[in-house]
Structure formats: structure tokens, C-alpha cells
């Protein structure tokens, strides 16, 4: 009918005539059903259409589609869109299709409709500008004199104004129709992409044509959708609000919306989506800049804490908010500006700003990490933080006369800010625990970094000695200041300033003479390490100063030990013991960073370990430092053996030192002090690991170290130590000083135990210990999974890469050890041992082990070996007698069945044949309860489908209730007793073959269901701790179904 050119009245009635009563939004466009019959998709549920396609084609279509609508309206804005035909037809079509159940139609037409409304808003804005200009022209005409006035001109202008107003009214009517017909239905669409489109365009409408859309009737949709469950929809709302609040003209009209949704916007800074949280913080930053009274002090207190956020974009935005607040509150008063010069005013302004920053840091009381605060302020306040002359002058000079000075606490924080700014300028924004920073710097950023390093080196290498001299009485301050030379640029021109370097080294030496705290010593050792680098211009001076310090300490320690060690007895008094301990701490800290082998500290300190056997023993603190020093000495000797070993005699001497250290450390594994025991264990593990690595990189043509193998006694001692000190609870360790009420101390204790286990596992991974030594560690995999699961799993992965067969044997050994312990525990009937696990937990451990064999083809040989080993473990050396009708370890087959799902079909047949070979010579009646584990294991091997397993992979300590399958399924065995030592608690339905059933037995049970056999009674039950063992003579009525 639409194509009938002769009868034009039909087309006019269908398309052009409007229903004035109902309005355009209710007019039915009768022509578009024909279009739908042509373009209706074959699959209405398909999500494949151009708008959803990824890649350049999808983006191209979206851009071109939107541009088409904009260009269409722009080209037709003067005449065609007002002909009551084109826009009516398009709006009707888009309105109907946007309500379609077909996702492609609804999505595409909603996008077209909202883009059409945006284009119409642009036309309405143009008309409004034209009306405003015409009205101004009309007012000019009215002000003219009678001779200058032109009535015809006024009438023409008034007619134009009327015409433009009518067009604007018609455009606004179209926009209202689209808004009510499309937006009001689609802004709550089930598809989040459609909701995002609607909210994005709504923000554009309000900003573009605020005279019509900037009111609470439209703003409320933006506020409501801030609660949307999809992050992208919330993000579109926040971005739209940023454009509104950023316009000074529109901001005063948003007061009601702000008061209504301010709490929601503040809470969105904690959004789970990082981008939403960042953009919300930017929105609040814009609000705070445009109006001071919107956010309360409590709101600022909550928002400013985000400078310590783990997400750097969020922290940087919060830092910008903090910096703007600091500048507003720290601005100097205008009356003082007239009394002082510009330099003094600038100094006062910097002082007041830093004072406000220190006050904020003190008031937060949440974090003690200044580096994160500096990183958050770096992008916006970099000019202040990089003003190192101002910072150092503030520390060196007295504050302005009209300002209050800094306290000692504020001075320490300001020094930390100085050090953090130096680190930020030298290393960039990459911080541990904070993500979102750029990992690759551009050429411009690298140039800025080099310039900053040069500036800070030129200034601080001269000023730093004065700072160290002024704050020499504060250990925490000088410890922070001595970190600054670590960031000096090595090839800088000022780094070769001999006088400045000499003054700096002299002040560091003076600080070390006055303080011996761990922070001071570590900072000094690392600073000397940076200054002694071969690429630095002050290398020779720094090495000379370091050697002089170490030599003085060694001479002092030698004299003290000569007086303290007499006739293998430690005779030092309390004062000399303190001096010895102080010197040992300095040598130990420097030995950790520097090679002090030429002072032969091993020969100097090893006699202290021999005094342990006499009556007068050194204090535990001295022994702890001696063990650490000797460990560092051995590791440095092994590390430099390729250069230092030039003869076989030196290699033999090195091996003797290694053996002596291991023997002495073995003795101290049983020391009364917990810290000494731990250090002895860690020292042995580190030395043996370093020796193993040195053997791998050893050049056979040179005089390398001779092979050293730890004794079996030492290996057993290490295993015993790790089991006693790592796999214990905090409350079980009597030697630990960890308080149960302190979570921080509990975490520290867990960290200590994790380090111990990691050190032991490294010995296995590097081949120092046999792989079978890991079997005992694997037994704790389930019990301590939350604490050590990642370490044990990584050990399995690394050992499997070394030798997958031997690694699988270790898993088998672990399960067999646990099984044998459980058997012996039940036989003894005594008190449960803490190392004994229940049958269910052993079975669950086997299931976890089986899950580690992901690629069944890759680990095919390993799984077959596990089954063969398990069958041999059960049936080897078994001779059937009337007293022992079943093997002693028969129930191990139930544990072994957990690995059956990892067997390939051909391997299942092979393993089943191997099982038949071991069971052929024995009389086995599968109808008897004592052979129940064999039934389960056979069923797992004979599973029909690939990956099918009749044995459940989920274990439970309670037997699940099994419903009866037939009215004859319940029966009782008279006079039958299970010879098994224990029974698995999770017997399940299994399917076995008929071949081994006895005909006589079938004839005797004619009253019972021929397809069911009784489940073995629960002869014995044991809990997770293995504390109680109970017996029962009652027979379980449950049955399992057997396929004949």
C-alpha cells in the first residue's frame, strides 16, 4: 500500500495524518511492520550485531552511525524537519523498535533515538540563540527615534521571532516525545549498555540545553542511577555530573541535587570499581573548588584519607584535594605581606604550607608511611616537594620570627618528607603495595628525572653534612638523612667534589661512633655501598673511609675477645660484653652489604661458638650476632670463590669452614634460646643453598670448592626442627613471646614460620636434601593450608619440574606414612598422637594431590607409578591365612582410588590387570564385607566413561544416608565380623563385575535382593585428632548396589 502511487490518500492516512488527541507518541506508524518482515533476524536471542562487535569495525560503525544522525538533522534543520513527515516517521519508528524484544533492534534504535534528541537539542539551542539575537535587534529598533524607526522592519523582526519560537516549540515537543517514549523506558533496561547510553546522553542534554533539562525532573535520573549495579552505568553518571558541576553557570542550580545525593557521591569513593572511585573523587574535587560550604569538615576528613589508598590514581586525586585545601588554609595574611619582602613572604608561605601538611599527617593517625603521602602529592605539589633548598633551609635555620617553630616530632616527619621526595625524584612513583603507576617512562619523563637527580645531588651533597651535624643527637633523624646519598647520581659533577664528599663521610663516621641502632647501621651500610660503586666518582674516598671504619672495629673486637676468651671460657664482664655486642652488630650489618673477607672474621669469631660447651657461655645476643656474621662470611666466600680460590689448599680450607659452620650450627639447633635456634637453622639453610648454587655455576677449569654433603644426622635434625617450629600454632609454642591478644605479633610469628619453611623447601628444590625429605612437609598440606599452602604447592611444582617420577614417589611416601601411623595408633589403642590424621583427612589429602596432576597425558607415567606402588604396598609379602584373610593395608586402596580419575582408559586396563595379578593367588570373595576397599578400587578402575569415577572425590567424617533401593535391600549378616583394622567412613555406591561372586553365597541369600551386598559395619571410628578409638559389634543395615 505504501508503494501505491495512484492512491495517495491511503499513504496520507497511514503516514502523514496525526492523531491530535493522543499525540505523536501514540500514533502507530503502520508502514514499519513491512520493514520488520524484511529485516527480522533469524535468531532473536543473538547478541551478534554491529554495535556489539569488538575491534575496529565495531568502533567504526558506532562512530559513523552517530555521525549519520547528527549530519541528517544538521542538513535538515532549516526546513525538512518541520515538514511534519520525516521526523514524525523517524520518531515513530525508533520509538516502536526501541521497545522491541529483539536485543539488536532495541539497542540500535535506542542509540539512534538519544543521538537524535542530542542533535535536536543542538538545533533548539541554535534557535534560542537566534531568538535572543532577534530580540536584541527588536529592542534596538524600539529605542530609535520616530524618524529612524521602521515599522516594516519591526514587523519583520517580530514575525521572525514568532517563527523561531514556533520552531523551537516544535523541536522541544519532539524532544519531549523522544524522552518520554524512549528514555523513560530504556534508562532501566535490562541491558547495561543501553542504560549507559541513556545516562551518557542525558548528561549531554542537561549541559547543552540547560534551559529545558536543568531541573530536578531530569536530574533525578542521574541521582537514581548512581546506585546502578553495573560500574559502567555509574561511571557515565559521574562523568555527566562532572560536566555539570564544572560549569560555573550551571553549578548554582544544582544545590537541591547536591544536598540530596551528596552522601551517595561520597560513599562512591569506596566503589569496588577503581575507575568509578577515581572519577567520583574528581567530581568531589570539582565540587570543593566551586563551593566551599558543600563538603563539611567530616567529609573532608573522610576523603583526604584516600591519599594512602593502594590505587595510585585515586590517591593522586585525593592528594590534589588535600593540596588545594592546604593552599587555602595556609595562605599568609595580607597585612603581613606589606611588612616583609618577597623572599620572606615566599619562605613564610612554604613554612605555613608544610606546617599544615605536617598537621594533617599528625591528625590522620592511620598510616606511618610518608612515602605514600609524598607520592599522592607529587603530581600536584611537585614544585613544593622538589624545592630542596627551601626544605633544607627550613631544617637548618630558625623559623620566621612571627611563626611558631617545629617540634622534634614535626622535624622528624619533615626529614622523612625530604627523603621521600628525593626517592620519588630519583626512582619514580613505583611503590610496593600501590598499583596503577606507569611502569614505562617516556623520554621526556626520563629527562626530567635526570635533571632532578642532578639538582638534588648538587645541593644535598653540600648541605647534608650540616644536617647530619645539627641532628646528630636524634638517631631516627640521622637514620633518615643517611639514606639520601643512595639516590645521588653517580656521574654528577658535584659527586666529584672532594671536600664535600670528605665532609659527608666524616659526618657519617661520627654518627656511627655515637649511634648503633639497627636503622642507623643499615642506612650507613647501604649508603657506603652506593658510594663505593665503581661507577661513582667518589669511589676511592668512600672505600678508604669504609675500610678505616671496619679496621677500627676489627681491632677493637680482637682486643676485647683476647681478654674475654681464656681457656675456652667466656670471662667478659657486663661492660665488655656490651662493647663486644655493639661491635658485632656493626660488623654484622656491614658484612651483610660488603665483602669483609680480607679481615678473616670467620677465624676471629668461630672460637665463640666453641665456648658453648663450657660452664661460662656467651649471652644469647652475642651468639645470635656471631652466627649471622659467620653465615655472611661463608656466603661471601662462596660467592667470590671463582676469583679468590687459586689453589687446592684454599678450596680445602673453604670446605673445612663450611663443615665447621654446619656442625656448630647443628649443635645450636637445640639451644635454649628461641632466636639462637632459629638463626642457626636459617644460617645452615642459607649456606647450603648458596653452596649448591655455587656448584652449579662452578667453572671446572678453576680451583672451585670441593663437594660438601651434609650428614644424615644434620638432615634429620633440620627436618625435626621444621616440624617442631613451623607447623605449630602460636599458642603451642612455649618459647615464643607472641601474645595471643596482639594480631600484629601473630602475623609476625606467622611470617617467621613461613620463612623457616621456605628456607627448608629451598634445600629440597636446590638438591641439597633428597626429595623424599619433603614427604613429612606434605603431610601438613591440608592442616596448614591457609598458612603454608602456597609454599608447599610451589615446592611440589618445582620438584615435579626436576623429576616428576621421584616427585610422585614423594607424594606416595607421604600418604603411606600417614596411613601407617593411623594403623599403629589404632593398634596401640592409647592416647592419640598429634601427628596422626583421620582416614577421611588422608583421603582428602590424596584427592588434593590428584588435582595437581592437571595434564593426564603429561603425567601419565606418574599416575601409573602411583597405582603400581600402591598395589605393591597392599599385597606385597601378604600370605593369606585363616587368621589374616585380608592384607594388613587393604584400606589403602580406598585412598589410592582417588587417583583413578587421572588414569587414561588404556592405563586403567593395565592397572586392573596388575591388580588381578596380585589378587589371583588369593581367595577373594567380593560378597564379604572385609573386601569392601577392593570393591571400591576395582569399581574406580572399571568405570565405563572417561573421567567417570564410582568413588566420590569428596570425603566426609560422617557416613551419608543412603536410601533403600528395593524393599529387600535390608539384611543382616549373622556371625560375621570384619577382620579389618579400620573402616573408611565414606563408603559410597560402587559398581563391580560379577566374576568373583560365589554361587553358593547367592543360593543362600534368596530372600534378599540379589543385586545388593551389605556395607562393611563401622567397626572402628576415629576423629580428626585421633583421640578416641571405639568398636561396635552392630552391623550397618546400609547396602551398596552391585552390577552383575
Give pLDDT, residue 143.
Answer: 78
* Residue 931, SS3 per DSSP: helix
Reported as type and span, the H/E element at residue 766 is none
Q: Tell me: the pLDDT tens digits for 455-465? A: 999 899 999 99
Mean pLDDT along residues 294-323:
92
Give pLDDT, residue 973.
Answer: 31
Give the integer Cα–Cα distance in Å for 694 and 374.
42
Mean pLDDT along residues 608-628:
82
Could you tell me the pLDDT band of residue 326, with boundaries at 50, 70 and 90?
A: confident
DSSP-assigned letters across all residues of 375-434: HHHHHHHHHHHT-HHHHHHHHHSPPPTTS----HHHHHHHHHHHHHHHHHHHH-S-BTTB
**H, E, C per residue of 70-112:** HHHHHHHCCCHHHCCCHHHHHHHHHHHHCCCCCHHHHHHHHHH
Give pLDDT, residue 481.
Answer: 94
Report the percent of the chain where pLDDT is more than 70. 78
Count CB neighbours of 120 within 10 A: 23
Give pLDDT, residue 832.
Answer: 60
Give, in order, the Cα–Cα distances in Å from 650 to each of 241, 657, 702, 706: 76, 11, 12, 10
Give backbone dihedrals phi and psi of 541, rounded to 5 degrees, phi first. -65, -40
- Inter-residue contact 870 to 896 (CB < 8 Å): yes
Helices (H), 214-254: 216-224, 231-245
Distance from chain centroid for Cα 89: 55
CA dihedral 588, 591, 597, 598 (to 10 degrees): -90
Give pLDDT, residue 976.
Answer: 35
Could you tell me the pLDDT band of residue 991, with boundaries at 50, 70 and 90?
A: very low
Give the integer Cα–Cα distance in Å for 551 and 554.
5
Give pLDDT, residue 148.
Answer: 66
Give pLDDT, residue 1001.
Answer: 36
- Residue 804: exposure state from Cβ atoms within 10 A (0-12, 13-18, ≥19): middle
Give pLDDT, residue 743.
Answer: 83
Could you tell me the pLDDT band of residue 682, with boundaries at 50, 70 and 90?
A: very high
Give the integer Cα–Cα distance in Å for 586 and 572.
19
Mean pLDDT along residues 950-971:
36
DSSP 311: B
Helices (H), 252-341: 255-267, 274-290, 297-304, 312-329, 334-337
Give the integer Cα–Cα distance in Å for 880 and 662.
50
Give the integer Cα–Cα distance in Å for 693 and 688.
9
**What own/partner pairs with CB < 8 Å and gap ≥ 24 does 797-806 have?**
798/765, 799/764, 799/765, 799/771, 799/774, 800/852, 802/765, 802/767, 802/771, 803/771, 804/859, 804/861, 804/862, 805/861, 805/862, 805/865, 806/771, 806/772
Give the integer Cα–Cα distance in Å for 698 and 715.
24
Give pLDDT, residue 438.
Answer: 79
Give the integer Cα–Cα distance in Å for 498 and 133.
76
- Of 769, 848, 790, 856, give the one whose Cα is nearest residue 815: 848
Residues with Cβ within 8 Å of 698's Cβ and at least 6 positions away in sequence, in order, are 641, 642, 704, 705
Q: Tell me: the pLDDT tens digits for 623-674? A: 999 999 999 999 998 887 766 666 677 778 888 989 999 999 999 999 889 9
Give pLDDT, residue 702.
Answer: 59
Lowest mean pLDDT among 9-18, 140-149, 450-459, 493-502: 9-18
Q: Tell me: the pLDDT tens digits for 363-413? A: 887 777 899 999 999 999 889 999 999 899 888 876 555 456 788 888 999
- Residue 176: exposure state from Cβ atoms within 10 A (0-12, 13-18, ≥19): middle
Between 880 and 573, residue with greater pLDDT: 573
Mean pLDDT along residues 690-718:
78
Give pLDDT, residue 84.
Answer: 78
Give pLDDT, residue 974.
Answer: 35
Helices 297-304 and 312-329, packing angle to 10 deg: 140
Lowest mean pLDDT among 10-14, 782-786, 922-926: 10-14
- Half-sphere exposure (CA, 13 Å, Cβ side) for 456? 28
Residues with Cβ within 8 Å of 863's Cβ and at least 6 positions away in sequence, in order, are 808, 853, 856, 899, 902, 903, 907
Give pLDDT, residue 27.
Answer: 40
Give the integer Cα–Cα distance in Å for 524 and 514.
13
Lowest mean pLDDT among 288-292, 412-416, 648-652, 812-816: 648-652
Give pLDDT, residue 21.
Answer: 38
Give pLDDT, residue 355.
Answer: 87
Give pLDDT, residue 935.
Answer: 85
Residues with Cβ within 8 Å of 798's Cβ and at least 6 positions away in sequence, in order, are 765
- Inter-residue contact 792 to 778 (CB < 8 Å): yes
Give pLDDT, residue 949.
Answer: 40
Grid coordinates standing for 245?
A: 558541576
- Inter-residue contact 14 to 31 (CB < 8 Å): yes
Sign, CA dihedral 317-321-324-330, equals negative
* pLDDT at 799 exceeding the cut of 90: yes
Length of the chain in terms of residues written: 1044
Q: Across the strands, what pairs with 434?
A: 431
Grid coordinates standing for 52?
A: 556489539
Helices 905-919 and 932-941, packing angle to 10 deg: 150
Grid coordinates standing for 235?
A: 561511571
Count CB neighbours of 696 within 10 A: 8
Burial state string for 882-916 with b = 16 or more CB within 10 A and e = fewer than 16: eeebbbebbbbbbbbbbbbbbbeeebbebbbebbe
DSSP 248: T
Count CB neighbours of 522 within 10 A: 17
**H, E, C per residue of 679-695:** HHHHHHHHHHHHHHHHH
Q: Which of 30-39, 558-567, 924-933: highest mean pLDDT? A: 558-567
Give pLDDT, residue 801.
Answer: 92
Mean pLDDT along residues 1030-1043:
33
Mean pLDDT over each residue of the chain, to the nearest integer: 80
Q: In the block, which residue shows the cell 614423594?
A: 810
Give pLDDT, residue 226.
Answer: 95
Give the integer Cα–Cα distance in Å for 202 and 546.
69
Grid coordinates standing for 847?
A: 584427592
Give pLDDT, residue 954.
Answer: 34
* Residue 1001, SS3 per DSSP: helix
Between 600 and 879, residue with greater pLDDT: 600
Could you tell me the pLDDT band of residue 728, with boundaries at 50, 70 and 90?
A: confident
Give the integer Cα–Cα distance in Å for 514 and 537.
28
Lowest mean pLDDT among 194-198, 238-242, 656-660: 656-660
Give the integer Cα–Cα distance in Å for 803 and 896.
21
* Residue 1040, SS3 per DSSP: strand
Give the integer Cα–Cα distance in Å for 640 and 620.
30
What would you measure as the largest C-alpha separation in the chain, in angstroms? 139
Sign, CA dihedral 613-619-621-625, equals negative
Give pLDDT, residue 58.
Answer: 87
Reported as type and span, the H/E element at residue 291 is none
Lowest mean pLDDT among 205-214, 690-699, 715-724, 871-880: 690-699
Residues with Cβ within 8 Å of 687's Cβ and at least 6 positions away in sequence, in order, are 631, 634, 635, 638, 658, 661, 662
- Inter-residue contact 641 to 705 (CB < 8 Å): yes
- Inter-residue contact 918 to 866 (CB < 8 Å): no
Q: Tell me: the pLDDT tens digits for 48-59? A: 788 888 888 889
Mean pLDDT along residues 79-101:
87
Give the integer Cα–Cα distance in Å for 828 and 89.
92
Give the integer Cα–Cα distance in Å for 456 and 273.
38
Give the integer Cα–Cα distance in Å for 608 and 617.
9
- Inter-residue contact 142 to 108 (CB < 8 Å): no
Q: Tell me: the pLDDT tens digits for 138-155? A: 888 777 766 666 778 888
Amino acid at each position: 500500500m505504501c508503494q501505491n502511487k495512484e492512491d495517495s490518500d491511503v499513504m496520507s492516512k497511514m503516514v502523514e495524518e496525526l492523531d491530535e488527541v493522543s499525540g505523536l507518541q501514540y500514533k502507530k506508524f503502520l508502514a514499519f511492520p513491512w520493514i520488520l518482515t524484511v529485516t527480522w533476524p533469524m535468531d532473536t536471542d543473538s547478541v551478534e550485531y554491529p554495535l556489539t562487535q569488538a575491534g575496529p569495525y565495531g568502533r567504526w560503525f558506532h562512530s559513523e552511525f552517530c555521525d549519520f544522525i547528527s549530519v541528517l538533522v544538521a542538513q535538515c534543520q532549516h526546513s525538512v524537519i518541520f515538514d511534519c513527515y520525516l521526523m514524525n516517521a523517524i520518531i515513530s519508528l525508533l520509538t516502536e523498535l526501541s521497545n522491541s524484544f529483539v536485543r539488536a533492534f532495541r539497542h540500535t534504535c535506542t542509540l539512534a533515538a538519544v543521538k537524535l534528541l542530542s542533535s535536536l537539542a543542538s538545533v533548539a539551542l541554535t534557535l534560542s540563540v537566534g531568538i535572543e539575537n532577534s530580540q536584541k535587534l527588536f529592542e534596538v529598533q524600539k529605542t530609535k527615534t520616530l524618524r529612524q524607526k521602521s515599522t516594516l522592519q519591526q514587523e519583520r523582526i517580530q514575525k521572525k521571532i514568532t517563527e523561531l519560537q514556533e520552531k523551537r516549540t516544535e523541536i522541544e515537543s519532539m524532544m519531549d516525545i523522544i524522552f518520554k517514549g524512549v528514555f523513560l523506558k530504556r534508562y532501566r533496561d535490562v541491558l547495561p549498555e543501553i542504560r549507559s547510553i541513556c545516562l551518557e546522553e542525558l548528561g549531554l542534554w542537561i549541559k547543552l540545553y540547560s534551559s529545558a533539562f536543568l531541573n530536578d525532573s531530569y536530574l533525578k535520573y542521574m541521582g537514581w542511577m548512581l546506585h546502578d549495579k553495573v560500574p559502567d552505568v555509574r561511571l557515565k553518571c559521574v562523568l555527566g555530573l562532572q560536566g555539570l558541576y564544572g560549569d560555573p553557570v550551571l553549578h548554582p542550580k544544582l544545590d537541591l541535587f547536591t544536598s540530596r545525593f551528596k552522601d551517595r557521591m561520597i560513599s562512591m569513593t569506596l566503589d569496588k570499581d577503581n575507575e568509578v572511585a577515581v572519577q567520583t573523587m574528581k567530581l568531589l574535587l570539582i565540587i570543593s573548588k566551586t563551593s566551599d560550604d558543600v563538603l563539611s569538615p567530616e567529609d573532608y576528613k573522610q576523603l583526604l584519607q584516600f591519599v594512602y589508598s593502594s590505587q595510585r590514581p585515586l590517591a593522586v586525586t585525593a592528594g590534589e584535594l588535600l593540596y588545594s585545601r592546604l593552599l587555602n588554609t595556609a595562605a599568609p595574611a595580607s597585612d603581613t605581606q606589606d611588612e616583609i619582602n618577597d623572599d620572606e613572604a615566599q619562605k613564610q608561605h612554604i613554612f605555613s604550607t608544610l606546617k599544615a601538611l605536617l598537621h594533617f599527617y599528625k591528625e590522620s593517625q592511620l598510616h606511618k608511611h610518608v612515602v605514600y603521602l609524598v607520592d599522592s602529592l607529587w603530581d600536584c605539589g611537585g614544585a613544593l616537594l622538589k624545592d630542596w633548598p627551601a626544605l633544607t633551609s627550613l631544617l637548618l635555620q630558625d623559623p620566621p620570627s612571627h611563626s611558631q617553630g617545629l617540634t622534634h616530632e614535626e622535624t622528624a616527619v619533615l626529614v622523612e618528607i625530604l627523603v621521600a621526595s628525593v626517592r620519588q625524584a630519583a626512582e619514580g612513583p613505583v611503590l610496593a603495595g600501590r598499583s596503577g603507576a606507569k611502569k614505562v617512562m617516556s623520554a621526556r619523563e626520563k629527562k626530567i628525572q635526570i635533571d632532578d637527580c642532578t639538582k638534588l645531588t648538587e645541593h644535598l651533597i653540600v648541605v647534608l653534612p650540616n644536617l647530619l651535624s645539627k641532628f646528630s643527637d636524634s638517631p631516627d633523624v640521622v637514620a633518615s638523612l643517611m639514606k639520601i646519598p643512595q639516590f645521588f647520581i653517580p656521574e654528577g659533577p658535584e659527586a666529584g667534589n672532594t671536600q664535600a664528599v670528605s665532609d659527608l663521610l666524616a659526618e657519617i663516621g661520627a654518627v656511627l661512633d655515637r649511634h648503633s641502632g639497627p636503622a642507623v647501621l643499615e642506612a650507613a651500610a647501604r649508603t657506603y655501598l652506593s658510594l663505593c660503586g665503581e661507577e661513582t666518582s667518589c669511589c676511592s674516598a668512600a672505600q678508604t673511609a669504609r675500610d678505616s671504619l671496619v679496621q677500627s672495629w676489627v681491632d677493637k673486637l680482637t682486643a676485647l675477645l683476647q681478654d674475654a676468651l681464656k681457656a675456652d671460657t667466656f670471662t667478659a664482664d657486663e661492660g665488655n660484653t656490651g662493647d663486644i655486642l655493639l661491635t658485632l652488630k656493626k660488623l654484622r650489618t656491614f658484612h651483610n652489604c660488603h665483602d669483609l673477607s680480607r679481615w678473616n672474621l670467620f677465624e676471629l669469631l668461630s672460637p665463640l661458638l666453641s665456648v658453648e660447651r663450657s660452664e661460662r657461655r656467651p649471652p644469647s645476643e652475642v651468639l645470635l650476632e656471631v652466627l649471622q656474621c659467620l653465615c655472611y662470611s661463608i656466603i661471601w666466600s662462596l660467592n667470590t670463590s671463582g676469583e679468590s680460590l687459586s689453589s687446592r689448599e684454599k678450596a680445602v680450607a673453604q670446605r673445612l669452614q663450611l663443615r665447621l659452620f654446619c656442625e656448630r650450627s647443628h649443635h645450636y639447633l637445640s639451644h635454649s634460646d628461641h632466636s639462637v635456634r632459629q638463626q642457626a637453622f636459617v644460617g645452615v639453610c642459607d649456606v647450603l643453598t648458596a653452596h649448591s648454587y655455587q656448584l652449579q655455576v662452578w667453572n671446572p677449569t678453576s680451583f672451585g670448592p670441593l663437594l660438601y654433603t651434609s650428614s644424615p644426622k644434620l638432615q634429620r635434625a633440620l627436618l625435626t626442627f621444621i616440624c617442631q617450629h613451623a607447623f605449630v600454632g602460636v599458642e603451642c609454642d612455649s618459647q615464643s613471646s607472641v601474645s595471643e591478644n596482639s594480631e600484629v605479633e601473630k602475623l609476625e610469628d606467622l611470617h617467621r614460620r613461613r620463612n623457616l619453611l621456605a628456607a627448608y623447601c629451598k634445600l629440597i628444590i636446590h638438591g641439597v636434601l633428597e626429595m623424599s625429605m619433603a614427604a613429612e612437609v606434605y603431610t601438613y598440606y591440608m592442616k596448614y593450608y591457609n598458612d603454608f599452602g602456597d609454599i608447599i604447592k610451589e615446592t611440589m611444582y618445582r620438584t615435579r619440574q626436576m623429576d616428576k617420577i621421584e616427585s610422585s614417589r614423594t607424594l606416595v611416601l607421604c600418604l603411606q606414612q600417614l596411613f601407617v601411623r593411623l594403623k599403629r595408633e589404632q593398634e596401640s589403642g592409647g592416647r592419640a598422637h598429634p601427628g596422626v590424621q583421620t582416614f577421611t583427612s588422608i583421603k582428602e589429602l590424596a584427592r588434593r594431590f590428584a588435582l595437581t596432576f592437571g595434564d593426564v597425558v603429561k603425567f601419565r607415567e606418574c599416575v601409573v607409578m602411583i597405582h603400581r606402588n600402591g598395589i605393591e604396598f597392599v599385597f606385597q609379602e601378604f600370605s593369606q591365612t585363616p587368621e589374616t584373610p585380608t592384607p594388613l593395608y587393604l584400606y589403602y586402596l580406598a585412598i589410592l582410588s582417588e587417583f583413578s580419575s587421572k588414569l587414561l582408559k588404556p592405563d586403567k586396563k593395565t592397572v586392573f590387570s596388575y591388580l588381578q595379578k596380585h589378587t589371583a593367588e588369593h581367595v577373594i570373595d567380593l560378597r564379604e564385607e572385609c573386601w569392601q576397599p577392593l570393591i571400591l578400587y576395582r569399581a574406580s578402575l572399571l568405570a565405563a566413561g572417561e573421567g567417570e569415577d564410582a568413588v566420590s572425590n569428596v570425603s566426609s567424617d560422617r557416613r551419608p544416608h543412603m536410601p533403600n533401593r528395593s524393599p529387600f535391600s535390608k539384611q543382616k549378616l549373622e556371625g560375621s565380623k570384619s577382620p579389618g583394622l579400620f573402616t573408611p567412613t565414606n563408603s559410597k555406591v560402587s559398581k563391580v563385575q560379577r566374576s568373583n561372586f560365589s554361587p553358593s553365597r547367592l543360593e543362600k541369600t534368596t530372600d534378599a535382593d540379589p543385586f545388593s551386598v551389605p556395607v562393611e559395619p563401622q567397626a572402628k571410628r576415629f576423629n580428626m585428632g585421633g583421640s578416641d578409638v571405639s568398636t561396635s559389634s552392630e552391623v550397618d543395615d546400609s547396602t551398596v548396589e552391585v552390577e552383575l
